[in-house]
Chains A and B, each alone.
Chain A
């Protein structure tokens, strides 16, 4: 057992590879006012019928070595954020920074270089792996695409498969239909790790797995992160899983960031009414203490025509007229500048009846 872990440790270090120039004290990844609207076209020549406001003025940053959890319900934009972070979709507005350098700007980091450092692990849907590729072929595809020689790519693929717990002798030549859900997800992870990234975006990476397998993969992800010194952006609709893996959490609602903060603080004493409702919607594990009334009524509004001002006001228990006219900015929750929420009830001088009295200290707008 000892020799196995020693070998794996050595391999882990070799996989970690040389790191490019890093600003040691800045965030690894940060986005500033990202916006992405999707056109709904109809009519003869595709005239715009409206826009799905998928992501609107989203800003946050991720520090080296942390796990930032992103939670929200359908239509909140978290999957769009995932794709924006890895530039599978181009944002309409906004900037992205890797180690402080502007991505896709002239004389700065190109999208190609971004993809060397940031990779994505997809949900284990049926189509997350090419049904006609073996595990090793799938993992080595990215390497070949970056110009690595075929035999070297294959060797590296085997190495990575071993690292995620799939013995190459047994699994390298299997097709996706010959793998269980947990094994397929490990191949997904291996595919992302093969390029040697520093940041992993995990988009619902454990959502379609059985509970017992989910636990295995979560343990694996935590282990990999420690061994390779990675940074995670963990996107999920499952509040419990996000709480388990994250250091900080970002809550989204209809394309907007409504709260950011350390995970325990947000879960225990959320600042935003939506976060409070979301946390309270978690089903209890105690049959004697069942939830008596739903924490929030109504269904999610459509992201095509979101409410004006604060988007949550149609379902918010403390909504007031000011909420319909002004969009709330991120304001500090309590004394902690790292925990912010976008609610008028928290911002001094907002006009909301529950707003605190103005203090001399000003709130910081981002979670960094």
Chain B
């Protein structure tokens, strides 16, 4: 073995150590890339408007959404006093759409949020520990996956009965299984990488490794997937209420409105379609935003 003392007088410090451009952290980079994407920003803007309108509905809506009027039934768009016309019971469409946004958007976002929390926890644990734990968890998830999502939702909603909370619960169950799968596969990939082995080699406990290493790497994957599900959830929730499960009238909800306006489709087709248009806009915006998020997150730094 060699190494004379001449070596120790050599500087250990690299010569090219100029600070260079100060890089952003990963999330800052994501935010910046996202903000430069016009489609994502456009969709985000629309969604912000929708959510704000929903939250501030009592102040934004021009009229009472429950006030019926036999005389003013199915008025077309542009009628004086009813910007978007009225529905089959004479209620102002615009107000109902705004109030409907409350329920529909809630049914879109909240189940996904719940599913993400619970599904990630289960998936990460299954992925990290592998072996028997993994097998048990994933095979149970497979059982849930045996049902198509709509059928599962309908079945659960039928069993639980109507109501907002029940609707939330069955939607959350439907989406949890997908999140479990994504979380588990992402964690399994991360688990085998050298830096996790290094963390184990330094004696870190499993919970510390999960919190410190696994979460930081899988969160972007899970978030991307979860955000793409919001649009699906809105449509599914609307579908449930269209079928008469979930929300009951006279609560304003886009899916429910589609159902009740169904009979008027030949008489006043535009009115009948309006709630569907809202569902379409909302889910498309969420999907495009999720796409933009995925692109922004996927950029290999």
Contacts and interface: CB of A to CB of B under 8 A. Distances in A.
Interface in A162-185: 163-167, 170-171, 174-175, 177-178, 180, 182-183
B204 interface: yes
Interface residues of chain A: helix, strand, loop or mixed (majority): helix
A178 B13 contact: no
A86 B1 CA distance: 25
A246 B25 CA distance: 40
Interface in B1-43: 1-3, 7-14, 16-20, 23, 25-26
A48 interface: no
B298 interface: no
A21 to B, nearest CB: 20
A182 B217 CA distance: 24
B201 interface: yes
B198 A120 contact: yes
Given A119-B202, A131-B301, A1 B14 contact: no
Given A120-B201, A122-B198, A130 B213 contact: yes
Contact of B195 (A138, A182, A222): A138
A1 B9 CA distance: 8
Contacts of A88: 197, 200-201
A182 B14 contact: yes
B20 to A, nearest CB: 7
Given A170-B19, A175-B23, A130 B200 contact: no
A135 to B, nearest CB: 12
B212 to A, nearest CB: 6
6 contacts: A88-B197, A170-B18, A177-B300, A183-B14, A223-B7, A227-B8
A141 interface: yes
Interface residues of A, number: 60
Given A141-B212, A145-B208, A223-B12, A122 B194 contact: yes
Given A120-B198, A141-B204, A223-B7, A132 B2 contact: no
Nearest to B25: A175
Contacts of A56: none
A133 interface: yes
Nearest to A83: B197
Contacts of A129: 195
Contact of A244 (B2, B13, B25): B2
